[in-house]
A and B are shown apart, each in its own frame.
Chain A
């Protein structure tokens, strides 16, 4: 019984949303995308095209 109550109230106790996590993954996602695009535009594209 008491277990149920603890579980349902937990998200409130810990703050309703994981703000630190969102911040970390947002920064990571931005770097992930940016670094990919940097390699795409500044290394891959200048190295020339291939055609059949």
Chain B
């Protein structure tokens, strides 16, 4: 095992562990949807489990998996070791320590503030400090990869950046721009307040800083999944990447547009001017474009694969694709799900239309399609390649790996479509139960919540399959040399056309200008208000 593989593997194990614990938490929520009367199902346990599920899935699983992916892709693409491996290990230690602190606070019932942790809901200081350490750790990871890229660039000034690295750099730039917001929220507002140094906190300022981070966060989840779609899946399908420069264009568009969009999460907030909301909505709608482009390029790559295997008709190439290979089916199914997720997102961010769905069950239906499937299912499918490659062990329990993506797909359709519908019927998200004094309207939600509970059981089954395959492979797989993971070749090599797409300095500069345009004035205006602040409360 080359040393860096050990670093990537360590990150992968934390990701898998977080995923497994979070899945168990999800079971609790599925049972709550079915309104089953179980002894451990109490409001306290429910809100604790929602918090643990959200933090462990959306923050811990994703971040650690992406860190593993970043190390692996960078070394594989450059054919060289990463620079400053020690910094990588220290970052891993810091991030893991932070995760343990935050999870400990949550599991002890001291931080049931959900993964959005909006003040004046007040968690134990360990929660905020732990979350901050996780982010600091991810900065160390970012530094290692940027450093490795710069060293490579100096030695290969004329070469095209490998596409996988281009995508990971886009991920890192988006992440660094985004985490400025949450770091400011944690260091300036939350930590001093939770430690008792300050008495009051301004919830709207905190929400502005949180969503500065919170929406680019979703592209931090999505871009690495796209990197897998563009650089791995066409090869797995047996074909070639349809267009290399358009893939680069997509990553660049994400760098530029990911961050100046956060107010579309605050469309229903008081204290934020409607004009600024509109500006963020405009940017958000533009970001549909790179995903539409991705849909075409990836499907066309699959078509190429089918045609290389002899398909000639309109759709017979679909039959030629390796549907029995979970590394392929996971992505194909993730894309189908994301087709719906993108549509829902275009509604969430459609300014006034947000009032129809804001904070309803629709929202959880939505993001389980996006981060919960487009990202998570892609990551799971790629894990069936990554774990063997990192450990040098055979994939075990292959049958479970084959059915896992299909179980997830079915479960997510049931879970998510029903949540979209009950959301439109007015059901709020994140509620322990929904009697509402026997309201007739609340009764209408029952069929939908029942279906979502069944979906949840499918998902839990799928998650168990994934965990079993990971444990079986990682701990008990037969040790022998594994086939290397190869990147997909583009049909047409990028050559030296559109080199500007590789110039991260330019795109980062444009992105910074847009972030300033989107946030500087609103925050300055906000600070002019007579703000009273709110005292912390911990009713959980």
Contacts and interface: CB of A to CB of B under 8 A. Distances in A.
A24 interface: yes
A47 B353 CA distance: 10
A35 B346 CA distance: 11
Interface in A18-38: 18-25, 28-29, 32, 35-36
A44 B240 contact: no
A19 B314 contact: yes
Could you say which of A14, A15, A32 has the most chain B C-beta atoms within 10 Å of its C-beta?
Answer: A14
A20 B242 contact: no
B416 to A, nearest CB: 15
Contact of A43 (B240, B302, B424): B424
B299 interface: yes
Contact of A14 (B304, B315, B346): B304
B307 A13 contact: yes
A44 B307 contact: no
A52 B273 CA distance: 11
Contacts of A32: 339, 342-343, 346
A50 B355 contact: yes
Nearest to A15: B307
A36 B346 contact: yes
A24 to B, nearest CB: 6
B295 A40 contact: no
How extensive is the interface on chain A, given as a class?
Answer: 20 to 34
B331 to A, nearest CB: 15
B195 interface: no
Given A10-B240, A36-B347, A44-B352, A25 B303 contact: no
A1 interface: no
A17 B491 CA distance: 12
Interface in B339-377: 339, 342-343, 346-347, 350, 352-353, 355-356
A14 B347 contact: no
B492 interface: yes
How extensive is the interface on chain B, given as a class?
Answer: 20 to 34
A47 B242 CA distance: 44
**Interface SS of chain A:** helix
Contacts of A43: 356, 424
Contact of B299 (A11, A24, A35): A24
A30 to B, nearest CB: 12
A20 B352 contact: no
A50 B352 contact: yes
Interface in B440-493: 491-493
B318 interface: yes
B300 interface: yes
Nearest to B317: A20
A14 B308 contact: yes
A44 B463 CA distance: 36
Contact of A28 (B295, B302, B347, B493): B295
Given A32-B343, A35-B343, A21 B299 contact: yes
A23 B307 CA distance: 16
Contacts of A22: 296
B303 A20 contact: yes
Contacts of B342: 32
Contact of A20 (B318, B343, B492): B318
Contact of A23 (B242, B314, B352): B314
Interface string B306-348: 0110001111011000000000000000000001001100110
A10 to B, nearest CB: 6
A44 B299 contact: no
A13 B307 CA distance: 8
Contacts of B343: 32, 35-36
Contacts of A35: 343
Contacts of B424: 43
A23 B89 CA distance: 48
Contacts of B303: 14, 18, 20-21
B355 A21 contact: no
A23 to B, nearest CB: 6
Contacts of A52: 274
A20 B491 contact: no
A11 B346 contact: no
A14 B307 contact: yes
Nearest to B314: A20
A7 B492 contact: yes
Could you say which of A13, A18, A19, A39 has the most chain B C-beta atoms within 10 Å of its C-beta?
Answer: A18
Interface of A: 7, 10-11, 13-15, 18-25, 28-29, 32, 35-36, 39-40, 43-44, 47, 50, 52
7 contacts: A10-B491, A14-B303, A20-B313, A20-B314, A23-B314, A32-B342, A35-B343
User: When A and B form their complex, which 5 residue pairs have the shortest distance between CB atoms, in order from nearest?
Assistant: A14-B307, A18-B300, A21-B300, A18-B303, A21-B299
Interface of B: 240, 242, 274, 292, 295-296, 299-300, 302-304, 307-308, 312-315, 317-318, 339, 342-343, 346-347, 350, 352-353, 355-356, 424, 491-493
Given A21-B296, A44-B356, 10 more contacts: A7-B492, A14-B307, A18-B304, A20-B303, A20-B315, A25-B299, A32-B339, A32-B342, A36-B347, A52-B274
